[in-house]
Amino acid sequence: MRDRQKELLELLDKSGANLYALLTRLTLREDVAEELMQELFIKLSNSRHFDKAGNRQAYARRAAINLAFDWRRSQKRNPLRLDQVREPASNESSPLGKLVRTEELDEILNAIGRLNRSSREALVMRYIQEESYDYIAEQLDKTAHHVRALCSRALNRLRDVLGHNERLSFEKETRNVKN
Amino acid sequence: MSKIDENKIHHRLKILSQIEPSSEATGRAIQQARDTLINEKSRHSASTRIWRNIFKSPITKLAAAAVLLIAVGYTVG
């Protein structure tokens, strides 16, 4: 157990900042990312599979991605009340721009959450963490060619999901104008 | 099925990739995770210590056996 704690503390020193940035990008909330960061390390500390994982860093990142998307799903089931809403993490300066931008980012993140786990992980690593195909392939224990195919399929699926959302909102607006 | 322009998707993904948490928040998150890990460790060793003490002392060992017997008696009876 002591070895596990020591390893986790080393992992925290080495990858803590990256994991926290990843959680912030996937939740768009620094406060939530802070909570999930604690939850992540508790999970890793109690996980039976952590010791068996060949690549601990990859294992921790996968757990972080799963935690963030689980959180997003739980938010859809229990939407926040207005008084619970905290400032989202965004680079936009005007409040309206920030709101629109956050909605767009939420929409794409929710669509990413609907992908299967391996496509989701590959897409997050490639486009949100901006890692190279070779590095992702090494981390996921796949070939670079396979990772490219996963990312391409994932992007195609996102186009379908977001296109469908856009069409629905257009139809809704048209109905509102007619009424 | 209608599809959204791929450039729009890439644009949104690019924005996501550029989000950087503040250094204060990062430091705080790492410190909290460290504290949690250390507390987990002490919590775990405290609970192990309690159980070890229970099974070391003959009186508590006897009491634990009695409780177990009574529980079995209730279940059977």
Residue B18 in any domain: the answer is: no
What is the domain partition of chain A in residue ranges? Answer: 1-92, 114-179
What's the pLDDT at A83? 47
- The residue of A127, A152, A157, A169 whose CB has the most chain B CBs within 10 angstroms, and thus the best one to mutate to test that interface, is A127
**Which chain B residues are closer than 8 Å to A132 by Cβ?**
none
Residue A38 has pLDDT above 50, yes or no: yes
Q: Is the dihedral of CA A10, B18, A24, A120 positive or negative?
A: negative
Nearest to B36 by CA among A50, A35, A2, A67: A35
Cα distances (angstroms) measured from residue A2 to each of A116, B32, B39, B65: 35, 19, 13, 31
Nearest Cα of chain B lies from the Cα of A121 at a distance, in angstroms, of: 14
What's the pLDDT at B60? 76
Domain containing B32 equals: 24-76
Point out the residue among B3, B25, B33 whose CB comes nearest to the CB of A38: B33
Q: Which of A2-6, A43-47, A123-127, A156-160 has the lowest mean pLDDT?
A: A2-6
| Per-residue pLDDT tens over the stretch A109-146 | 999 999 999 999 999 999 999 999 999 999 999 999 99
Whole-number Å distance between alpha carbons of A54 and A139: 10
Alpha helices in chain A (DSSP H): 2-27, 30-46, 56-77, 95-113, 117-123, 133-140, 144-178
User: Which 8-state DSSP code applies to residue A126?
Assistant: I
The label of the residue with tokens 């721009």 reads: A97
**Which chain B residues are closer than 8 Å to A129 by Cβ?**
17
Residue B66 in any domain: the answer is: yes
Residue A156 has pLDDT above 70, yes or no: yes
Cβ separation A20–B26 shorter than 8 A: yes
Q: Above pLDDT 90, what percent of chain A?
A: 63
> For domain A114-179, is the CATH number 3.40.50.10420?
no
* ipTM of model over 0.85: no
Which residues are within 8 A (CB) of A24 and not within 5 positions of it... i.e. 6 or more apart?
A30, A33, A89, B19, B20, B21, B25
| Per-residue pLDDT tens over the stretch A14-33 | 999 999 999 999 999 999 99
Residue A172 has pLDDT above 70, yes or no: no
Whole-number Å distance between alpha carbons of A48 and A51: 7
Residue B8 in any domain: the answer is: no
| Single-letter residue type at A45 | S
**Which chain B residues are closer than 8 Å to A105 by Cβ?**
12, 15-16
CATH value of A1-92 in 1.10.1740, 1.10.10, 3.40.720, 1.10.15: 1.10.1740
Residue B41 in any domain: the answer is: yes
Residue A122 and residue A145 in contact, taking contact as beta carbons nearer than 8 Å? no
What's the pLDDT at B64? 82
Looking from the CA of B28 toward its CB, the CA atoms found within 13 Å total: 12
| Average pLDDT of chain A, as a whole number | 86
Cα distances (angstroms) measured from residue A79 to each of A41, A86, A100, A102: 26, 13, 18, 15
Q: Looking at per-residue confidence, does A67 or B42 come out higher?
A: A67
| Per-residue pLDDT tens over the stretch B6-56 | 888 999 999 999 999 999 999 999 999 999 988 876 665 555 555 565 666
Domain count for chain B = 1
Residue A81 has pLDDT above 60, yes or no: no
Residue A178 has pLDDT above 90, yes or no: no
User: Which 8-state DSSP code applies to residue A81?
Assistant: P
Assign A176 to helix, strand or coil: helix
Residue A176 has pLDDT above 80, yes or no: no
Structure token pair of residue A150: 């996963």
Q: What is the mean pLDDT of residues B59-64?
A: 79
Cα distances (angstroms) measured from residue A166 to each of A28, A107, A110, A161, B8: 22, 10, 14, 9, 12
Residue A80 has pLDDT above 60, yes or no: no
Residue B11 in any domain: the answer is: no
What's the pLDDT at A5? 86
Looking from the CA of B25 toward its CB, the CA atoms found within 13 Å total: 18
Same CATH fold assignment for domains A1-92 and A114-179: no
Q: What is the mean pLDDT of residues A163-175?
A: 69
Point out the residue among A1, A24, A158 whose CB comes nearest to the CB of B9: A158
